[in-house]
Amino acid sequence: MAFSKSYPRQSKMGVQWEESILTDEEENEVEILARAQNNILMKVCLADAKEIVKEVGMKDYQTDLVHIAISLFEKRASHEVYWKENKAKEKFDRAK
């Protein structure tokens, strides 16, 4: 099922809502980009977690690092829906 999002467009008759639908190819492209970005982000989160553990003098058990990294990742991560919404908005704006 293709990703879609509705956006308002001003017209002479008022606001009209138009749907922007990503093709399967566009959606797949955005998913791949999001996944790659999230992999990079997780590596950064792991490095940050190591630094935090070191700074506060905790023992650097791997499970602790992973838990901290996951918490950081969840706060920072861009979800696929966010990327898809951005792509749909770009497509909507180009269709003016």
Question: Which residues are 6's β-sheet partners?
Answer: 19
User: Contact 69/49 with Cβ under 8 angstroms?
Assistant: yes
The whole-angstrom separation of Cα 14 and Cα 8 is: 10
pLDDT in tens, 60-75: 777 877 888 888 777 6
Round the average pLDDT of the chain to a whole number and report it. Answer: 85
Q: By residue range, what is the domain housing residue 54? A: 4-94
Residue 78: per-residue pLDDT:
59
Residue whose C-alpha is closest to residue 48's, from 78, 69, 67: 69
The total number of structural domains in the chain stands at 1
